[in-house]
Structure 1
């Protein structure tokens, strides 16, 4: 059974539009700026957790003390 050329053209156009939309969504998801922003948010959230935050503060204080000791010797 042969299909109407106009129907085929409409289906092709719909498929093109769907593909263009999908490509736009993929481009947005893979955007370097979006990925960097997402990574920043993730790291900030992780650093705000007490089990990560306080050891980092302790390490920073220790490094500062070691630097001061090195400077004033």
Structure 2
């Protein structure tokens, strides 16, 4: 049974609206500022975890001790 033109036009309009919505969502997701903010938030969250935080403090202290030893030798 052939479809009428109104039905085809409605399908085309529906597909066009869905494509526009998808493109809008992609443009929001790939916004460089948003990607940078997301990455920054993820890094800060990881650094604030106790094991990572204490390891970084220990590494910083070790570097400081080595630098001080190198300066005063």
TM category, shorter: 0.7 to 0.9
Match in the other structure for 1:30 = 30
1:2-21 → structure 2 map (5 Å cutoff): 2-21=2-21
- Residue 34 of structure 1 aligns to a residue whose secondary structure is helix
Q: Which runs of 5+ in 1 are unaligned?
A: none
> How many residues in Structure 1 have an aligned counterpart in Structure 2?
73
1:7-65: CA deviations, max 9, x gaps? 31122111101111012112222333222221211111111111111111011011112
Q: Which runs of 5+ in 2 are unaligned?
A: none
